[in-house]
Amino acid sequence: MRKAASPPSPLLKDCLWAFFVGGAICLLGEGLRTLYAALGFTLTDAGTLTSATLIGLSAPLPQQWAGTRSWPPRPAPVSGTHHRFR
């Protein structure tokens, strides 16, 4: 029954996607760090600014882009009075 309820995930596709997205994020981070270092910041400060910039850029992303969805999707909370104590 379990196999019928949940189809197999495309593991190779997911791994390749994670590899390329992770690489793109690292490339962006290295570019930002190089930019901040070229602007005269120390490497420590450039690293700190890079982290802050990447966090700031990711904050307004929709959930489906930011990877914050839960899998499997969580069920909706049950409403009603049967869980309340009287």
**Residue 18: its H or E element:** helix 11-38
Q: Which of 3, 9, 2 is nearest to 71 (CA)?
A: 9
pLDDT at position 49, please?
A: 97
pLDDT at position 80, please?
A: 60
- Cα 19 from chain centroid (whole Å): 13
pLDDT at position 32, please?
A: 97
Q: Please give the angle made by the CA atoms of 64, 23 and 31, to the nearest 5 degrees.
A: 105
pLDDT at position 84, please?
A: 54
Q: Please give the angle made by the CA atoms of 23, 66 and 70, to the nearest 5 degrees.
A: 115
pLDDT at position 14, please?
A: 87
pLDDT tens, position by position, for the chain (86 residues)? 555 667 777 888 888 988 998 999 999 999 999 999 999 999 999 999 999 999 998 877 666 555 555 555 556 666 665 555 55
